[in-house]
Homo-oligomer: A and B are copies of this chain.
């Protein structure tokens, strides 16, 4: 069952009912100002940091779901409704929500009045624009009142939802003409305020929530809207809001465009005040003036569209498979960009206010995003490396506002160091900017302790090498990529988090997965070192890779598949010897990509075991059989009910590792089958089961042990986006950057006989026609000339477009 459709020409997903199986959302913003918005106008916005600079209030896990957002109300002769359906939930004569690239357009029609609300964050100011277009579709003149509503968050989202003893005493606002300024705590340590204005005179306003709603009414039936009359309340303490009231009259057929701006301003300490107690509004007025006219707003929207068209033009595909095309050309790179912007810090349901920018997360996000704006990847890489410690380990998260490591989020994840190699190598292959390796970067944000980025990478490798266990495999630490496999925690207390509880400095528990990572990325690092003339470093890492590859061969293969780990007692994890948790997906994917033992057939064996033991109708499970009870020596993975999360859920992040490994052994059909099972556009028809948005990946789909097998959870901000983009674009379609040029090495199923990929790479656009003959013979021609090997050399072409032909 579907709840909308893809409009590929507009690059939009069009939702045709407000009653989606969950609120389906979009992200607004691209630099510093971000918003989340649902198909019924729910959501919130923030400046840079979703926790520390939350501008509007949002309540997670609400009843009814998704209450609180940017709302408009119509009181049309006593009939009260909202064009976004929520929060009033009055039935509409017409409803449509179009989620586009960086904007959302919601249209509601009732009683001959059409209200279209367009929401976007422009490229050049820290604000959201809400453009409301009112049209009288009837034959009579219409007079009605339009009310706006946002509820302000008192800046720190965590504090805002817990420290009421303080918060209920601090709220302050100013009202100036048609603009409401939220200035809570501006008097003290803060130098910032928010504002919400409209380019139209007001019939009234409210800034105090209880005055607006009444004490026992809600956002769905606020007294002010029901009565059709603002109270001109000025908040003192409690909960500041901004609500404008506009009295509008429209002739038959007439349209009116109103521009609301919700913005954020910081002032220098010496310029904070206009006069004692009155904030300096100069910057806010400048922004409001800039968007006072519809023309200027139209231009800002066009600029935004150009921005996105540019970004998405880096990699496009034309094939007979419309779902493939829309994933590769629009939605997957769009999700990659959003995920890169926010890491995991601003979720709609699942993350609340606890997360910052993840070290492991962002390094992987870069893999999907780096082609679009390499210079932003560069900056992020340097930020991430600066949260590393001199021994190569790292804070697991940092807050984007302060860029400092967040000790509350834990550390000691022994895969973290190696992910920095992945991002740096991907960046170098994309950009050729080797100078980044000479950048001087602090450790732990301490300017007194620094090293070049190259030395940071060496630290990462050293960390793995110097933390090996009895079998010569890397120690797992608190956990590796699988946060929930906690082999050193031994937690017996229900009130502690596995991510931060005491973890012994164990010398026994080893990770086959981290071993696979080093064997996978190490040789690429060696190639880099040789390019740099650092043959010593190249030789050194290859020695380590060889040793660890051998350790995996000796102690990491269980006969039919790769082991997952050794626990703290030296017992196998993910082995046929276990009663539960016999096979894990991660080492099969990673060791497969690293081609460990491929020559002995181990990759094929392992991938066949994945097919046989982990595959379901909705993707590949993480582990099987699921753990039925808590295991002290394994930790959090065994605390989840079977079929959920790491305990045999379908973790979409690691499915693409298996797809990539399948392309390495040439099994195109199977790689693509796995791709289609979890790619959201292919799941659109089962939206009633899948529940989450059909245009972006979710972190997890419940496994076959769960009661509702196939239900997705935690959409949008997940490493799933980057790795699936890598799998489909670089390994299935097979076009990927390398140090020496663009590799063309497709591994396509029969159904994709003819495919054209365009790729902008280092200033050149390549149009690559792929003829998928499956002949066993590979042929590559660049600008009409045949080339040896599978790489389009960097010197191969100039001019706007280079034509490439590849036959397999």
Chain A residues near B (Cβ < 8 Å): 18-19, 21-22, 52, 59-65, 67-68, 86, 89, 151, 155-156, 158-159, 161-166, 168-170, 172, 185, 187-190, 209-210, 213, 215-219, 234, 236-237, 239, 276-277, 347, 349-354, 401-402, 491-495, 497, 628-630, 638-641, 644-645, 649, 699, 702, 706-708, 713-714
- The 8 Å CB contact of A189, one of B61, B63, B159, B493, is B493
Chain B residues within 8 Å of A237, by CB: 641, 644, 702, 706
Is the pair B239, A165 in contact by a Cβ cutoff of 8 Å? no
- The 8 Å CB contact of A494, one of B59, B60, B169, B189, is B189
- Known contacts A218-B63, A236-B708, A644-B237; decide if A495 and B187 are in contact (CB<8 Å): no
Chain B residues within 8 Å of A236, by CB: 641, 706-708
Chain B residues within 8 Å of A52, by CB: 495
A216 to B65, CA, bound (A): 6
Is the pair A64, B216 in contact by a Cβ cutoff of 8 Å? yes
Is the pair B170, A639 in contact by a Cβ cutoff of 8 Å? yes
Is the pair A63, B354 in contact by a Cβ cutoff of 8 Å? no
Is the pair A169, B645 in contact by a Cβ cutoff of 8 Å? yes
Is the pair A215, B64 in contact by a Cβ cutoff of 8 Å? yes
- Known contacts A215-B65, A640-B169, A713-B168; decide if A188 and B628 are in contact (CB<8 Å): no
Q: How far is the CB of A625 from chain B (nearest CB, A)?
A: 14
Q: Mind listing 20 A-B residue pairs with CB under 8 Å? A: A63-B213, A63-B219, A65-B210, A161-B161, A164-B352, A169-B640, A169-B649, A169-B713, A170-B640, A187-B641, A188-B494, A188-B638, A189-B491, A189-B493, A189-B494, A189-B639, A236-B641, A236-B707, A236-B708, A277-B628
Chain B residues within 8 Å of A64, by CB: 213, 215-218
Is the pair A21, B349 in contact by a Cβ cutoff of 8 Å? no
Is the pair B216, A19 in contact by a Cβ cutoff of 8 Å? yes
Is the pair B168, A350 in contact by a Cβ cutoff of 8 Å? yes
For the complex with contacts A64-B216, A156-B495, A188-B639, 17 further pairs of A-B residues with Cβ separation under 8 Å are A21-B215, A59-B62, A61-B239, A63-B68, A63-B218, A64-B213, A86-B216, A89-B216, A155-B494, A162-B352, A164-B351, A170-B640, A185-B494, A187-B629, A187-B630, A187-B641, A188-B494
- The 8 Å CB contact of A161, one of B19, B172, B352, B493, is B352
Chain B residues within 8 Å of A161, by CB: 60-61, 161, 352
Chain B residues within 8 Å of A22, by CB: 215
- Known contacts A21-B215, A630-B187; decide if A164 and B61 are in contact (CB<8 Å): yes
Is the pair A630, B168 in contact by a Cβ cutoff of 8 Å? no
Is the pair B641, A170 in contact by a Cβ cutoff of 8 Å? yes
Is the pair B492, A639 in contact by a Cβ cutoff of 8 Å? no
Which residue of chain B lies nearest to A484 when distances are taken between CB atoms in the complex?
B166
- Known contacts A63-B219, A163-B352; decide if A172 and B641 are in contact (CB<8 Å): yes
Chain B residues within 8 Å of A89, by CB: 216
Chain B residues within 8 Å of A493, by CB: 189
Is the pair A639, B185 in contact by a Cβ cutoff of 8 Å? yes
Chain B residues within 8 Å of A61, by CB: 161, 164, 239
Which residue of chain B lies nearest to A495 when distances are taken between CB atoms in the complex?
B52
Is the pair B163, A641 in contact by a Cβ cutoff of 8 Å? no
- Known contacts A65-B215, A640-B170, A644-B237; decide if A165 and B351 are in contact (CB<8 Å): yes
A60 to B401, CA, bound (A): 27
Chain A interface secondary structure, helix, strand, loop or mixed?
Answer: loop
A630 to B273, CA, bound (A): 14
Q: How far is the CB of A358 from chain B (nearest CB, A)?
A: 13
Is the pair B349, A714 in contact by a Cβ cutoff of 8 Å? no
Chain B residues within 8 Å of A86, by CB: 216
Q: How far is the CB of A277 from chain B (nearest CB, A)?
A: 7
Q: How far is the CB of A194 from chain B (nearest CB, A)?
A: 14
Which residue of chain B lies nearest to A355 when distances are taken between CB atoms in the complex?
B165
Chain B residues within 8 Å of A649, by CB: 169
Is the pair B65, A164 in contact by a Cβ cutoff of 8 Å? no
Is the pair A168, B349 in contact by a Cβ cutoff of 8 Å? yes
Q: How far is the CB of A154 from chain B (nearest CB, A)?
A: 10
Chain B residues within 8 Å of A166, by CB: 645
A18 to B215, CA, bound (A): 11
A497 to B641, CA, bound (A): 38
Chain B residues within 8 Å of A151, by CB: 63
Chain B residues within 8 Å of A350, by CB: 164-165, 168
Which residue of chain B lies nearest to A213 when distances are taken between CB atoms in the complex?
B63
Chain B residues within 8 Å of A19, by CB: 215-216
Which residue of chain B lies nearest to A348 when distances are taken between CB atoms in the complex?
B164
Chain B residues within 8 Å of A215, by CB: 19, 21-22, 64-65
Q: How far is the CB of A448 from chain B (nearest CB, A)?
A: 19
Chain B residues within 8 Å of A641, by CB: 169-170, 172, 187, 236-237
Chain B residues within 8 Å of A713, by CB: 168-169
Q: How far is the CB of A592 from chain B (nearest CB, A)?
A: 28
Chain B residues within 8 Å of A155, by CB: 494
The 9 closest A-B pairs by CB, nearest first: A188-B630, A169-B644, A165-B350, A189-B494, A236-B707, A162-B352, A64-B218, A188-B639, A190-B494
Chain B residues within 8 Å of A401, by CB: 495
Which residue of chain B lies nearest to A192 when distances are taken between CB atoms in the complex?
B494
Which residue of chain B lies nearest to A190 when distances are taken between CB atoms in the complex?
B494
Is the pair A164, B639 in contact by a Cβ cutoff of 8 Å? no
A665 to B699, CA, bound (A): 71
Chain B residues within 8 Å of A65, by CB: 210, 215-216
Is the pair B165, A714 in contact by a Cβ cutoff of 8 Å? yes
Is the pair A60, B164 in contact by a Cβ cutoff of 8 Å? yes
Q: How far is the CB of A586 from chain B (nearest CB, A)?
A: 19
A151 to B61, CA, bound (A): 12
Q: How far is the CB of A231 from chain B (nearest CB, A)?
A: 14
Q: How far is the CB of A697 from chain B (nearest CB, A)?
A: 15
A172 to B647, CA, bound (A): 15
Chain B residues within 8 Å of A706, by CB: 236-237
Q: How far is the CB of A269 from chain B (nearest CB, A)?
A: 10
Q: How far is the CB of A108 from chain B (nearest CB, A)?
A: 15
Q: How far is the CB of A7 from chain B (nearest CB, A)?
A: 25
- The 8 Å CB contact of A170, one of B156, B170, B218, B644, is B644
Q: How far is the CB of A173 from chain B (nearest CB, A)?
A: 11
Is the pair B492, A189 in contact by a Cβ cutoff of 8 Å? yes
Q: How far is the CB of A93 from chain B (nearest CB, A)?
A: 19
Chain B residues within 8 Å of A159, by CB: 497
Chain B residues within 8 Å of A18, by CB: 216
Q: How far is the CB of A638 from chain B (nearest CB, A)?
A: 7
A758 to B401, CA, bound (A): 62
Q: How far is the CB of A51 from chain B (nearest CB, A)?
A: 9
Is the pair B187, A639 in contact by a Cβ cutoff of 8 Å? yes
Q: How far is the CB of A464 from chain B (nearest CB, A)?
A: 28
A22 to B497, CA, bound (A): 36
Which residue of chain B lies nearest to A59 when distances are taken between CB atoms in the complex?
B59
Chain B residues within 8 Å of A708, by CB: 236
A708 to B402, CA, bound (A): 38
Q: How far is the CB of A100 from chain B (nearest CB, A)?
A: 24
Q: How far is the CB of A175 from chain B (nearest CB, A)?
A: 14
A67 to B165, CA, bound (A): 19
Chain B residues within 8 Å of A219, by CB: 63
Chain B residues within 8 Å of A276, by CB: 628
Is the pair A354, B162 in contact by a Cβ cutoff of 8 Å? yes
A86 to B168, CA, bound (A): 24
Which residue of chain B lies nearest to A276 when distances are taken between CB atoms in the complex?
B628
Chain B residues within 8 Å of A165, by CB: 347, 350-351, 699, 714
Which residue of chain B lies nearest to A700 when distances are taken between CB atoms in the complex?
B169
